[in-house]
Copies of this chain bind each other. A is one copy, B any other.
Amino acid sequence: MQLDSRKKEVLHAIVDDFVLTNEPVGSKSLIERHNFNVSSATLRNDMAELEHLGLIEKPHTSAGRIPSDKGYREYVNSLMTIEELSPYEQLEIEKRIDTSVDEVTELIKNATHTLSETTGFVSLAMSPRLTKSFLKQLKILMIEPGKALVVMVLSAGVVKDKVVRIPNFLNDEQIFRISGAIEKYLTGKPLDEITLVTVEQAAKDTEVPDPLLKQVLYEAYAAIKQADELNIYLDGEHRMLSLPDFSSLGRARDLLGTLSDSGMVAGYVNEMENSTLDSRSRDSYMIRIGQEITLEGLDDCSFITATYNLTDSVTGNIGVIGPKRMLYSKVISQIDFVKKKLNEEMKRFT
């Protein structure tokens, strides 16, 4: 996109003004608010050009201009500058995140909640992707005949467990032996390298009758696989209703309807994570604007996520879904700061 410098300024100003006022911005008000040393007629020419390029558009013939998705994209990619949060803003966030919790999950939920409060938008986080973490401990506890609890401690400091069914006539002793064998064989193995075959191999010499063994192994395997399932945490959905951008009930309904299917949102975040659309090397966040988002009802939204690290290889995402018409640089700083805090606090768990 080659734009001469004034046109860049004009686009920048239009985005800024529209974000601020939520009203289509015209050539005259642009002159009033900003120090362009040219006349409104000149800006009108520039604006016609920007519209021709698809960066801005008119709601109707005689209205001012609003940024198009492409315009926001240009703004985000090349025009805006991201500033650090002020010490005061940083403090506000630090005060809000409750870091006194004992579990990673709670910490993530807290951070997500804080992010929603801070931005005023919907926030979301994905649980850490545990496929790269490895098994540190695995114990199977008998609960009662036919029922056992598989407890796993993963390298990232995460504890997972699952109630499983086992054959009724297996006794403590046998379970203990199976459990020990699995643990011995699988400790240190990344979750994504654990297959049903490796689990079965683990228990070769347990001296437990084969038909009994099979079911336990399968259940243990299922428990392990469940441990690396992704969870998503959404927060602050109701805040969207306070935004003028969603004052039409229809839009609000579609949006919240889509967000209520958290599995679908999680799938989308995952897809984003694996996409090559973003210049990840440059920045540590991903942005999707308006129609770029393939979820229904999010056409008027932007979706920004950053990646947090529980360990080097165990990561998750945290971010925001807000209106396209948002203060991108501010929101990005806020996400970034929350992410940093989250990373710091997570060191406690690993």
Q: Which residues of A contact B (CB under 8 A)?
A: 102-103, 136-137, 139, 141, 143-144, 149, 151, 153, 159, 161-165, 236-238, 241-242, 247, 249, 252-253, 256-257, 259-260
Q: From residue A154, how far is it (CB to closest CB) to chain B in Å?
A: 10
Q: Which of B149, B153, B260 is in CB contact (< 8 Å) with A237?
A: B260
Given contacts A236-B260, A237-B256, 6 further A-B contacts (CB under 8 A): A102-B162, A149-B153, A151-B151, A151-B161, A161-B161, A252-B252
Judging by beta carbons under 8 Å apart, are B253 and A241 in contact? Answer: yes
Hey, which chain B residues are within 8 Å of A161, CB to CB? 151, 159, 161
Judging by beta carbons under 8 Å apart, are B137 and A139 in contact? Answer: no
Copies of this chain per assembly: 2
Q: How far apart are the CA atoms of A252 and B249 in the complex, in Å?
A: 9
Q: Which of B149, B249, B259 is in CB contact (< 8 Å) with A151?
A: B149
* A260 closest partner in B (C-beta): B238
Q: Which of B144, B162, B247, B253 is in CB contact (< 8 Å) with A238?
A: B253
* A257 closest partner in B (C-beta): B238
Hey, which chain B residues are within 8 Å of A149, CB to CB? 151, 153, 159
Hey, which chain B residues are within 8 Å of A252, CB to CB? 241, 249, 252
Judging by beta carbons under 8 Å apart, are A164 and B102 in contact? Answer: yes
**Can you give 18 contacting A-B residue pairs, CB < 8 Å?**
A136-B144, A137-B141, A137-B143, A144-B153, A149-B153, A149-B159, A151-B161, A159-B163, A161-B161, A236-B260, A237-B260, A238-B259, A241-B252, A241-B253, A241-B256, A242-B253, A249-B249, A252-B252
